[in-house]
Structure 1
């Protein structure tokens, strides 16, 4: 079953964060990660969500976890974590059956 990594965050330091998008993209390839959404101006319709919303589709939760914990991503991760605040979750795709 497919799974999605959903990250919602605010960028606190634009300059420090700037290299992150280009650096993270190649780390997704070995885990069959597919960038579905990358919106840097998320539209608020309810609550107080973060400004940036990113959704990446993976073949499974195991693949998403594998990517997140991979040495390649761990090298890139500080570019986001040190310059942003927010939340990241991994969720299963909806299956009505």
Structure 2
């Protein structure tokens, strides 16, 4: 099942280290089948607060997403970003093609009863 890595970058920066990080990150993702779905767009906040921007990556599965994040190649460049940008990073599974939120609601209702 497809997995995603999401980074909420609260304090975007244009430091030279960030440019190097951006230049090198794709090479760290390629061995794990990772690709960018979104990379630093201006966000439109519909509810709550969201300072900064977002990066969304896609991987074939959770194992590959976790392996990419833990890889020596990525860990080597990660400080280039974390020294200059405050943020949070998450890895999570997507839903399958047959996902139905009504079935999830039914399970949640049954569990709550």
* TM-score (normalised: structure 1): 0.88
Q: What's 1:7 paired with?
A: 7
**Equivalence for 2:60:** 59
Q: Secondary structure at the match of 2:10?
A: strand
Segments of structure 2 that go 5 or more residues without pairing to the other structure are 101-113
Residue-pair matches, total: 97
Deviations 1:70-92 (A, max 9, x none): 00001110011111111111111
Counterpart in the other structure of 1:18: 19
- What RMSD, in angstroms, separates the aligned Cα atoms of the two structures? 1.6
Q: Which has the higher strand share?
A: 1
Does the CA contact (< 8 Å) of 2:12 and 2:53 recur in 1? no
Measure, in 1, the Cα distance between the counterparts of 2:39 and 2:18: 14
What TM-score do the two structures reach when normalised by structure 2?
Answer: 0.77
Gap regions ≥5 residues in structure 1: none
Q: CA deviation at 1:14?
A: 2.1
2:10/2:52 contact within 8 Å kept: yes
Query: SS of the residue aligned with 2:7?
Result: strand
